[in-house]
Chains A and B, each alone.
Chain A
Amino acid sequence: MKHGWIWIIAALLPLQAQAFSGGELMKQSQAAFLYPGKDFKARVVMKLINKDGHERVREMTMLRKNSGETGGNQKYFMYFFQPADVKDMTFMIHKYPAKDDDRWMFIPAISMVKRIAAQDKRSSFVGSDFTYEDVSGRDIEDDNHVIEREEKVGNRDCYVIKSTPKGADSDFGYKFTWVDKANFLPLREAQYDKKGVHYKQFTADEITDIKGVPTAIRRTMKNLQTGHRTEAAYLKTDYDLGIEDSLFSERFLRQPPRKWVE
């Protein structure tokens, strides 16, 4: 039955999208959102805002380099400016599909690089409402994706895709993603817990073209249960800067080159 109406919808779709299944759409979306360019750099300012409006700030430079295809390995490098007492802390992730990440952290106060076990991709990213998965992506293969319907977000036409985890390791029961038909960016995501309660909501608040790449430069993740939200602004975003692979090493964790982090 389900397939029946998907075919009807498919028949009504513009030509270029007709061939997409839910999974393929999500893959397209991941490519547009998390993999554009060979590499990427941004100054990320996160405001962690609680229900009463109190703000805390996390400020960091985020560098990313892809190796290979969409969905393939990625390396992340982060250098923290704020909060003040964590200045000079650096954080590195080697991300592999279908395998646990490798993570390292440099703790300047004791001048020590420590490997950190990446057990839980669903844990909070630097104390914000974003999880590691929200920042660097979740394996497409971990969920079943179904195109539920089409809907407008603002004036943008979107597919609404329902993703349901195959295993039990996730903390959400299912989620809906509103994927822009034109540029495949996720404009909105609604996460439901295992009891079916809508508890987290992602929105891409501002999208702009950088070197021809549509980029979400302001994003918000809101926890509907606690009223806590995180607003992330991606400043000075740039692509294809020619970041060397050697940057993503323990040596540079201790002494990050100024030209990349400033």
Chain B
Amino acid sequence: MFNFSLVEFSIRRPKLVIWATVALVLLFLTQFPGIKTDTNPKNMLPENSEVRVWNDEVDKTFSLYEDTIVVGVQNDTGVLNRETLARIARITDAIVALEGVASRDVNSFTTITNITAEAGTLKVGPLMPGVPRTDAEVETLRSALFDNTLLIDRVISKDGKTTAIYVPLEKGANGAVITEHIREIVAVEQGTERYYIAGDPVARDTFGAEMFKLMGIFSPIAGMIMFIAIQLMFRNLTLSLTMMGVAMAAIILSMGSLIGAGYAVHIMSSMAPVFLMAIATDSIHIFNEFYFRYRERGDKLAAIRETMAAVGRPVRFTALATTAGFAVLLFMNIVPVQVFGGLIAFGTIVLRLFSFSLIPAILTFVKDEKIARAVENESTELDRTSRFLRKLSEIGATRPQAVALTGLALVAIAILGTTQIHVNNNLVAWFKPSSEIRVADSVMNQALGGTSLGYLVVESGDAEFMKQPEAMRWLEGLQRHLETLPVVGKTFSVTDYLKRINRVLHDNDQKFDTVPDTPEMIGQYLFLFSMSAKPADLDNVIDPAFQKTNLWVQLKTWDAEAMRQVIQAADSYQKAHPLEVKVKPAGIAYFNLVWNEEVLGDLVLGLVLALVVVFVILALDFRSAKWALVAYVPLLFTILLIYGVVGFVGKDFDMPLSVMSTLSLGMAVDFSIHFISRFRQRLTETGGGTNKEAVREALLWTAARPGKGILRNALLFAAAFSVMLAAPLTPYMAVGAFIVSMMLLSALFTILYLPALVMLGRNWLFDQPKPTADAAQAHTKGN
């Protein structure tokens, strides 16, 4: 067998194995300086995905910018005073001069287009070309602002205390640098105003910075915690160092190949080091068993060989299950999730290869007397932990019915909880409520029309169609309909310009605040407007052929759900008011919705795939579907329970969580594999009797001895991931909490419920002396 010879080779030529590993690690380490990060949420879906291609097309048709930074200026006594206005003008001038800013389309008091009529003269031009010098001029500005619905909730809040500067970025501009410059610009100002900087690029860059922090600070901390935990468990520095070394080597090899292959590090893959560190703890079963064997035999090399023979099979199959759990992610639609799945699957394989080469090699160097000292307490009879585990499994073994019924009741409650699960991705909610970006976002959402932007592109088959008054009235009706939704803060379209021009041409008469009556009027008004306004003003809302028009919908929340409501409302409006047009959603809010749905689809697909794959692996391992079913129970139980809690707590079920749940199948099943493999081995070793007493005794032994490995494994896993609970971003926290509870619960359920189930199903499981099962055991022994 391959593994057998690998182990033999490694304990015969340990130095070669170690140096080869060191050389390999150094080689992959050379790739690290080339690291790239990608925090653009758009890259969650591939560049050629339908929604991205469509959004690009819409951006092009309507001269829209992909990225806009929003600078909020707030003054409790109102922004309409000479000092604040002077500051706004200064800040706008400075921003316009920044490299990468699409200067001509920056919208602020000094640059946004206003349409007015003064003394019979139509005026289309910047709202505030110069800073007001007298209070009377301030009052004129105030009435201009509040007279124009196009400006309210966009550049001025209804209470007059907040304004915003919209800063679109040129393609390929560096959002982080521009944001930093804007911070410097506003920092110079000395007034009582507060400044808030929000928008997609800001969120992205903040996220990127935090990601690096997580990788650079949290991974090492997780490593330290694990190191201390291992040291406490085994009291042998060499062993602790071995485990850490193996984990580090696997991390470097995996991340090195990721970077070397040219992939950017994304939110998911930034979690990879912590995952690999945790998965590395599976080798605890080797050390665990080695300690027991060494104590029994006293011969180091023999102990290594026997250990590898005993735990080899479960270690291989748990690795297979983990690899498979991550590998199913390769079938998902979300790019970073695919990359992450491949990365961890690769890392797990590397880790397992180390288990059969590097670990045995290092074990040969451990000084005998040191192990002897460390293993003094390592006996199932003496050890407190082992006694506790034995007691725990005894409950399951002696009162299987009660335990099973309690379990069923819990499952019922959990299922109820899962019905409450709310799938949602809200990128801004990934930041903590106290974070600068989240504060800026909520301040702006309260004061103005909303920071999340969606578009509804209304498209006709005919050019010039949008000059028809009925088309424009229809569009206006749609806007009013959408505005009844609580999530919609403001809508904006070409009808707003038309109504405004109509009114202004007719001496500001309120009566004319309507869509003009004839196509000629519409055409001529817009022509007139285009002669004075900035080109972008009209381009943003209507295409040059007047075939497509773009309705802007500002949303007060980044919840993907909000855009779904908008689309549904548009659908029902169209049903009630049929018109020969197509309404197609677009924009970042729509992207988030599509992505959200992909997550849901992925979740279902991933879960089904993982369940099937894990079951097949279990059945292969045990050569029995029945045992596979039994091993399945703690896994399902754990997942259901956690989902139930997620449902009850009301936590959004988002991308990181959905991925976690899929791959957690592969990790949570590990304990069952260890338990059942070792239990059946034990049964064979002790004579193969399947009477109640023999089974019970073997179960209790398994709980006490390999069970200790399971517990140690779970604790280490939990320790490593507990670090993520302190992360500054909520997805990391959620993942941390998820994994910690999953590991602890599945360890508990394995030790409590497997004995109960085996006792309950004893007759079914052992209905006849299984020749195949015996053959399997014999095979394992000879391995």
Contact = CB atoms under 8 A, between A and B. Distances in A.
Interface of A: 48, 50, 54, 56, 83, 85-86, 89, 91, 105, 107-110, 112, 114-117, 119-120, 123-127, 171, 193-195, 226
Contact of B103 (A109, A112, A194): A194
Contacts of A89: 524, 527
A108 to B, nearest CB: 7
Interface string B453-486: 0000000000010010000000000000000000
Contacts of B519: 85
A37 to B, nearest CB: 26
Given A110-B505, A127-B530, A195-B99, A85 B125 contact: no
A119 to B, nearest CB: 4
B104 A119 contact: no
Interface in B104-122: 104, 118, 120-122
Contacts of B104: 171
B446 interface: no
The CB with the most chain B CB atoms within 10 A, among A83, A124, A127, A194, is that of A127
A85 B467 contact: yes
Interface in B518-546: 518-525, 527-528, 530-535, 538, 544-545
A124 B121 CA distance: 19
Contacts of A226: 63
Contacts of B626: none
Contacts of A85: 464, 467, 519-520, 522-524, 527
Interface in B526-573: 527-528, 530-535, 538, 544-545
The CB with the most chain B CB atoms within 10 A, among A91, A109, A195, A226, is that of A109
Interface string B502-524: 00010000000000101111111
Contacts of A108: 520, 524
Given A123-B531, A124-B535, A126-B530, A115 B518 contact: no
Contacts of B531: 91, 105, 116, 123-127
Contact of B524 (A109, A124, A127): A109
Contacts of A193: 103
B544 to A, nearest CB: 5
B120 A110 contact: no
B123 interface: yes
Interface in B353-373: none
A116 B519 CA distance: 22
Contact of A123 (B97, B527, B532): B532
Contacts of A105: 122, 528, 531
Interface of B: 63, 96-97, 99, 103-104, 118, 120-126, 129, 464, 467, 505, 516, 518-525, 527-528, 530-535, 538, 544-545
Contacts of A127: 527, 530-531, 535, 538
B527 A116 contact: no
Given A105-B528, A109-B521, A50 B129 contact: no
A-B pairs with lowest CB-CB distance, top 10: A85-B523, A119-B125, A117-B123, A109-B520, A109-B521, A127-B530, A115-B121, A86-B527, A109-B524, A114-B122
Contacts of B544: 48, 50, 54, 56
Given A109-B520, A124-B531, 19 more contacts: A85-B467, A85-B519, A105-B528, A105-B531, A109-B523, A109-B524, A114-B121, A114-B122, A114-B505, A115-B122, A116-B123, A117-B121, A117-B125, A119-B125, A123-B532, A123-B533, A126-B531, A127-B535, A195-B103
B97 A107 contact: no
Given A119-B125, A124-B535, A86 B524 contact: yes
B518 A109 contact: yes
A105 B530 CA distance: 13
Nearest to A115: B121
B103 to A, nearest CB: 7
21 contacts: A56-B545, A85-B519, A86-B523, A89-B527, A105-B528, A105-B531, A107-B524, A109-B518, A109-B521, A110-B521, A112-B505, A114-B121, A114-B122, A116-B123, A117-B121, A117-B125, A119-B125, A123-B534, A124-B531, A124-B535, A126-B527
B702 to A, nearest CB: 71
Nearest to A199: B104
A125 B464 CA distance: 21
Nearest to A117: B123
Contacts of A171: 104
Contacts of B121: 114-117
A117 B114 CA distance: 12
Contacts of A117: 118, 121-125
A168 to B, nearest CB: 8
Contacts of A112: 505
B442 to A, nearest CB: 34
A89 B524 CA distance: 8
Given A83-B523, A109-B520, A120 B532 contact: yes
A193 to B, nearest CB: 7
Contacts of B99: 195
A195 B97 contact: yes
A226 B120 CA distance: 36
Contacts of A194: 96-97, 103
B465 to A, nearest CB: 12
A53 to B, nearest CB: 12
Contacts of B528: 105, 107, 114, 116
B445 to A, nearest CB: 32
Nearest to A89: B524
A225 to B, nearest CB: 8
Contacts of A124: 530-531, 534-535
